[in-house]
Chain A
Amino acid sequence: DTEVTQTPKHLVMGMTNKKSLKCEQHMGHRAMYWYKQKAKKPPELMFVYSYEKLSINESVPSRFSPECPNSSLLNLHLHALQPEDSALYLCASSQEGRHYEQYFGPGTRLTVT
């Protein structure tokens, strides 16, 4: 099974709302990632978790808060977002080490109104 699942598929939220994105994988991968992708652009790395610990934060605003409750789950908590945060949010997972491919989920299409 090489599937990464993400929920919800679509999310519309106001600037004062709090919401969460969820990601799950059952491939035994110990590295998990959040990316943000704007239209017609490549994905931009936001966070990397390695063995359930945050290892990379690419200077992401604090209105995005990641969480890794266990080795299979990754959450992204959203609060007080701005309209420019509207994008496709992708989760990925991989084995440890830079030579390994990342497996991507289908993404959550987020619209901030």
Chain B
Amino acid sequence: AQSVTQLDSHVSVSEGTPVLLRCNYSSSYSPSLFWYVQHPNKGLQLLLKYTSAATLVKGINGFEAEFKKSETSFHLTKPSAHMSDAAEYFCVVSGNYGQNFVFGPGTRLSVLP
């Protein structure tokens, strides 16, 4: 069965500094992996996805993630944080049947001025 671990429940950075949100997954299939962002009281917005093409994936708003099969990781990075990046971030792995997504527990990103 698939599972996702997000190693930090809360990450706090200063504006203009790099962001690193960590995600590890477990999958018995070749996984598809996604990062979503959720601002307070909003729906989820897709940041980027990995579906077995390039291992370095670029997303919206300057985010990118690198798929590392040997480490079963899919960490999300951004070179320079902006105040508007403060939100909840979910790492997701595609399920082993149908269209079932398996969500990580989420990481709350705070950006300090």
Contacts and interface: CB of A to CB of B under 8 A. Distances in A.
Interface of A: 4, 6, 31, 33, 40-43, 45, 48, 50, 55-56, 88, 90, 92, 94, 96-107, 109
Which secondary structure dominates where chain B touches chain A?
loop
The residue among B36, B101, B105 with the most chain A CB atoms within 10 A of its own CB is B101
Contact of B44 (A40, A99, A104, A109): A104
B49 interface: yes
Contacts of B97: 98
B42 A48 contact: no
B98 A56 contact: yes
A90 B52 CA distance: 28
A109 B41 contact: yes
A30 B27 CA distance: 25
Contact of A31 (B34, B99, B105): B99
A88 B41 contact: yes
A101 to B, nearest CB: 5
Nearest to B29: A98
B100 to A, nearest CB: 6
A104 B105 CA distance: 18
Nearest to B4: A42
Nearest to B90: A42
22 contacts: A6-B43, A33-B99, A43-B103, A48-B100, A50-B99, A55-B98, A56-B98, A56-B100, A88-B41, A90-B43, A97-B99, A98-B98, A98-B99, A98-B100, A99-B51, A100-B99, A102-B99, A102-B101, A104-B43, A104-B44, A106-B42, A106-B43
B49 A101 contact: yes
A104 B104 contact: no
A3 to B, nearest CB: 10
Given A48-B100, A98-B94, A99-B51, 6 more contacts: A33-B99, A41-B105, A41-B106, A45-B101, A98-B95, A104-B45
A99 B51 CA distance: 6
A94 to B, nearest CB: 6
